Structure 1
Amino acid sequence: MKKVLVIAAHPDDEVLGVGGTIIKLVEKDYEIYTYILTDGSSTQYYGDTKKLNQKKEETFKANDILGVKEVIFGNLPDMKLDTISHVKINNEIEKITNKIEPEIIFTHHSGDVNKDHKLIFESTLVVCRPLPGNNIKKIYSYEVPSSTEWGDNKTKDYFIPNIYVTLNKKQINKKCLAMEKYKTELRDYPHPRSLKSIINCSQHRGNQVGYDYAESFILIRELS
C-alpha cells in the first residue's frame, strides 16, 4: 500500500489544499497521514488551553471524514516558525518522514504570503533530498486559499499548477463536510475560506482542464 504524507503548518491547511485529493486517494487504497507542524493556535488564542484542545478536536474530526489513517501534531510555535532555527524545522519533518516512509509528499507552496508555509516548503525540500535510500518518489506543493493567492504574483514563486486532480461532486461535498468541522477557521462568503469560495475554487481549477471540479498542484520532483 502506498503511503502519502500531507505536511501542513496549521490545522485546516490540509483540507483546503489537499482535501479532495486525499478523499480520492483513500478511495484508491492509499494510506494517508497528516502532519501538522505547529500547535495551530497558540498565537491566535494566546495559549488558551480550551481553544487549543478545540482546534485539535476539529482536526481529528475533519481528517476522519477525509479518511486519513493518522493525524500527527507537532509542537512548534504557531505563526512563529521564523523565530526558531531552520535546522529545528528540518529535524521535526525528518523524524516523521523516517517514521512513515512515504512515497508521496504534499507540502506548502514557496510563494504563500504566510511565512510558516514558506519555511515548511524549504524544510521539506531539505529533508526530501534525493539521496540513496530515500523512499520519496513524488513531491507536490499545494495552494491554500487566503494565503497562496495573496502572495507576490510578480515573482517566480507565483503558483502556476502543472498537475490537476479531477474530482466529482460527491468528493467536493465531502471536502466541504470536513471543512465544516473547522468551526474556528470557517468564514462567511466571500472570504476565501468560506464553503462557497472553496467550491468556486475547485470549479475554477476543474474548468481549466475541462472538468467540473479539481484541485491543482505543482509537481516539485518525481523519481520513476
Structure 2
Amino acid sequence: MTHRTILVCAAHPDDEILGCGGTMARHVDRGDSVHVVFVADGIESRKAMNAERERLLTERREAAFKAANIIGCERPHFFDYPDQRLDTISLLDITQSIETLLAALQPDLVYTHHGDDLNADHRLVSEATMTAVRPMPGQKVVAVYGFETLSSTEWVFQSRGNAFRPNHFVGVASTLVRKLDALRAYDAEMRDFPHPRSYEAVAALTKLRGATVGLAAAEAFTVLREVEP
C-alpha cells in the first residue's frame, strides 16, 4: 500500500476535528502521514490582554496537541495570524505561508474549508489554500477537498449562491469515537445541544451524511479539485 502525505489547512484549532477528524483518523490507520496547520490563533478576537492572552493561547495550543495525539497525526503547525482578522492580512502573506509549508511537506492530498462559509476566516483560508495549490506544472497535490464546519458552514446566507453541497463522502464509522474523543480536547469551544457545535449535533451530522450514501457514518466534502496523473 502506498502511504500518502495529507495536509489539513484549518483556520482555527477545532476546525480540523469538526470538519474531518474521522477522515484524518482513517488516513492515519491506513499508514498515511497527516499534518495540520492552523492559520489563525483562535483567541485574538476575545480581546484578552497580556498574561490572559498568553494563557488562552497556550491552552488552545495544548488542546490542538492533545487532539492530534488522539487522532494519531503529526505535531500541528501554527501561523498565529489574528483570529477573525484575517481580512486585515494580505492574502499574499497567508498564501505564501501555506506555500512554504507545502514545499516542506510535499502533501498528496489537501483538506481545507468549504469556500463559502459564514465565518470570514474560513473563507479566506480556503481561498489562500486554493491559491497555494494552484495546478502549475510539478504540483504534487492531486486532490483538494472542502470540509464543512458546524456553526459556520450551515449558517451561510443561501443568497451567496455557493452553499455546501457535498459530492465526496468518507465512511467514518470505525473512527467516529476517536473524532469525538479528539473533539473533547476542545471542550471549552463546545456548546450544549441543540447548538450545532455540540457533541450530539456532530455525531448526528455524521449519521446524516452517512445515511445519504448508505453508510452508518460519514464525513462529507466538496471536491475542490481532483487530478489523475
Normalized against structure 1, the TM-score is what? 0.96
Q: Does the CA-based 8 Å contact 1:110-1:118 persist in structure 2?
A: yes
What fraction of aligned residue pairs are identical, expressed as a percent? 36
- The runs of 4+ residues in structure 1 deviating greater than 3 Å are none
SS across alignment from 2:39? strand
Aligned to 1:178: 182
Q: Partner amino acid for 1:13?
A: D
Aligned to 1:70: 75
Identify which of 147, 155, 164 aligns with 2:160: 155
Q: Map residues 75-94 of structure 1 onto 2, 5 A cutoff.
A: 75-94=80-99
Q: Does the CA-based 8 Å contact 1:45-1:52 persist in structure 2?
A: no
Aligned to 1:107: 112
Identify which of 191, 203, 213 aligns with 2:217: 213
The answer on 1:198 being equivalent to 2:202 is: yes
The answer on 1:129 being equivalent to 2:134 is: yes
How many angstroms does 1:126 deviate by? 1.0
CA distance, structure 2, for counterparts of residue 40 and residue 191 of structure 1: 19
How many angstroms does 1:124 deviate by? 1.1
Cα deviation digits, residues 67-86 of structure 1 (max 9, x gap): 11221011211110001111
Structure 2: any 5+ residue segments left out of the alignment? none
Name the Cα RMSD after superposition. 1.1
How many angstroms does 1:89 deviate by? 1.0
Q: Partner amino acid for 1:93?
A: I
The answer on 1:55 being equivalent to 2:60 is: yes
Aligned residues: 223
SS across alignment from 1:105? strand
Q: Does the CA-based 8 Å contact 1:142-1:218 persist in structure 2?
A: yes
Q: Which has the higher helix share?
A: 2
Q: Partner amino acid for 1:122?
A: E
Normalized against structure 2, the TM-score is what? 0.94
